[in-house]
A and B are shown apart, each in its own frame.
Chain A
Amino acid sequence: MSVNLVDTSLRDGMHSVSHSFTPEQMAAVAVALDPAGLRLLEVAHGDGLGGSSFQYGFAAASDLEYVEAVVAVAERTEVAVLLLPGIGTIKMLAEARRRGAGAVRVATHCTEADISAQHIAWAREQGMTTIGFLMMSHMLEPAALAEQAALMESYGAEVVYAVDSAGALVPDGARHRVEALRDRLSVEVGFHAHNNLGCAVGNSLAAVAAGATWVDGSLRGLGAGAGNAATEVLAAALDKAGVETGADLFALMDAAEDVVAPLLPRPQIIDRASLVLGYAGVYSSFLRHTERAAEKYGVDARELLVELGRRQVVGGQEDVIIEVAAQRALAS
């Protein structure tokens, strides 16, 4: 059995540093990762192309500068970008492609796959590796999730992911979603984990056992909330489980320890706020925004996150954090 291992240190990992990586830092990480033999390196603002904003945080450089910097050094690994319809556009994707991005992951909230039709179809027509990405998939039952995945397949996606954006799934939840997608689709199935409940590697193993052939990691577990599955740990665990990744484990360990670790402002751990993300089922990217709002308005970050979970906010609604924090500050 073999799977495609995707590293998203330079996209999801951007959340860990509030989108502050420079193109030079990205290139350094890519130089270390490229020889490790992964399937894709994903590069962009944490919220994908066009994500640099008041709403999601301004990045240190433009998406195109990041793509150029990584493409210049990635000799054997294909470079991917993320695109969330409603934030990024086909025009932005075309620019990224012109600069050498060969793959795209088109991401929507798990119930809104139909807003990705034009982006997926366009990417596929251009010959890009085209992947559908269904976020916050803990909010949808497996059978309904599979119907949304089938829409993405019908638009031209070659792989469709169940994405645990809130890190709210435990292994059974991951397994059931992957099984539902596997049974419904003709194309391959992927799984993207977050570690808010400490289950990122475990969920990824469960997903692979259930038939997922694409899984994601970030070096040192970088990523929104408590981060993703650590690429180097996932590669080792998959190897122990008898799953072929083609990855050079020592190269991944070195990239994590020698290149990424020194770039981190704080270690990637499951602190109480990120644990609440997983527990309350809140989009992991909300973590830093919630911490900032909690500090500014003098309220408890955990209470904000629980209230956001109660309101069923979805990925992209970072502005509601400010609204809830301001209301709580007034009420107290």
Chain B
Amino acid sequence: MERRIGAAILGPGNIGTDLLTKLRRAEAVEVRLMAGIVADSPGLARAAAAGLDTSAEGITAVLGRDDIELVFDATAAQAHLENAPLLAAAGKRAIDLTPAAVGPYVVPAVNLEQHLERENVNMVSCGGQATIPFVHAIDRVADVSYAEIVATISSASAGPGTRQNIDHFTETTAKGIEDVGGADEAKAIIVLNPADPPILMRDTVFARVRQPDAEEIERSVSAMVTELSAYVPGVRLILCETDGNKVTVMVEIEGAGDFLPTYAGNLDIMTAAAARVGQGMAEHMLGARA
């Protein structure tokens, strides 16, 4: 019987490389191929040095491999829109780290179990991965009518994709807070801070709730910190406060420092969550075959 599920990463940039480092610790996943579109890219060279097959043929190289069932797409929204139907037709599962959002949003600490058999899932946004677990933690005990999140990240960790389409962050994150976090209505704000040395990612969740039981909320939020720590060890609770029907939760997220710098907790949480989804899907696939 097969013990690991073969995987490929599309997009050998910083995200793809950091993801590779994390997936090498995922017991049920074996990354066999790193595919890009630029032959002499440093990311492909890094992957080759790590002993992976590499290709500059992009999606074509992935489609040609029968030993690959799981594909992590760390390219760009437009590329994933093209890749998604090809991967689906080839029977390969896609974990989409781009903003394309072809499949449903998945936040491992909240709804991974519901999406283990999907052919395509989307990782929402960095702010979504950091805050939706806490909106859910509040909602499950206090019923959130309105949630608002503020994600503050270091300028150094905000790549061109984020910068060129920052509206996408606010709109997608707000939708994820509603769809996955359980808030009736949501708003998301992102702030870039250029301080040097770079600040860690910090996130604030404000929620208006219908059942403001401070002790219950604090217990649920603390439990969520533990659940999230399973795949994001650098999450730290700064504040959890209930004042009337307003709940405020603040967290700080330090990255694992695998390939990305530790201050880039916003990028780290995306790769950590994607690796967690990959491990979960692979375990599920292996379990079904056993």
Does B239 sit at the interface, judged by CB under 8 A? yes
Does B271 sit at the interface, judged by CB under 8 A? no
- Do residues A50 and B187 form an inter-chain contact, with CB atoms below 8 A? yes
Q: Tell me the chain B residues, 208-263 only, with Cβ under 8 Å from chain A.
A: 238-239, 241, 246, 248, 250
Instruction: Write the B159-196 contact mask toward A (1 if CB under 8 angstroms, else 0).
Output: 01001111101110000000000000001011111110
- Do residues B170 and A86 form an inter-chain contact, with CB atoms below 8 A? yes
Q: A89-B167, A323-B250 are in contact. Are A111 and B155 (CB under 8 A)?
A: yes
Shortest C-beta distance, A132 to chain B (Å), equals: 15
Instruction: Write the B104-129 contact mask toward A (1 if CB under 8 angstroms, else 0).
Output: 00000000000000000000000000
Does B30 sit at the interface, judged by CB under 8 A? no
Question: Which residue of B is nearest A111, CB measured?
Answer: B194
Does A128 sit at the interface, judged by CB under 8 A? no
Which one, A50, A111, A118, A323, contacts B165 given CB within 8 A? A118
Does B134 sit at the interface, judged by CB under 8 A? no
At the interface with chain B, which of A170-178, A179-187, A306-314? Answer: A306-314
A317-B171 Cα distance, complex, nearest whole Å: 19
A55-B165 Cα distance, complex, nearest whole Å: 22
Does B72 sit at the interface, judged by CB under 8 A? no
Q: A118-B164, A317-B152 are in contact. Are A112 and B194 (CB under 8 A)?
A: yes
B interface size (C-beta, 8 A):
31
Could you say which residues of chain B place their CB within 8 Å of the CB of A114?
Answer: 160, 163-164
- Do residues B167 and A53 form an inter-chain contact, with CB atoms below 8 A? no
- Do residues B164 and A86 form an inter-chain contact, with CB atoms below 8 A? no
Does B148 sit at the interface, judged by CB under 8 A? yes
Does A90 sit at the interface, judged by CB under 8 A? yes
A271-B241 Cα distance, complex, nearest whole Å: 31
Could you say which residues of chain B place their CB within 8 Å of the CB of A23?
Answer: none
- Do residues A117 and B193 form an inter-chain contact, with CB atoms below 8 A? no
- Do residues B194 and A109 form an inter-chain contact, with CB atoms below 8 A? yes
Could you say which residues of chain A place their CB within 8 Å of the CB of B165?
Answer: 118
Enumerate 30 A-B pairs (CB-CB under 8 Å) in ascending A order: A53-B148, A54-B206, A55-B206, A86-B169, A86-B190, A87-B170, A87-B189, A89-B167, A89-B170, A89-B171, A111-B155, A111-B194, A112-B163, A112-B192, A114-B160, A114-B163, A115-B166, A118-B165, A312-B195, A314-B192, A314-B194, A314-B195, A316-B152, A316-B189, A316-B191, A317-B191, A319-B204, A322-B204, A323-B238, A326-B239
Report which B residues bind A (CB closer than 8 A).
148, 150, 152, 155, 158, 160, 163-167, 169-171, 187, 189-195, 202, 204, 206, 238-239, 241, 246, 248, 250
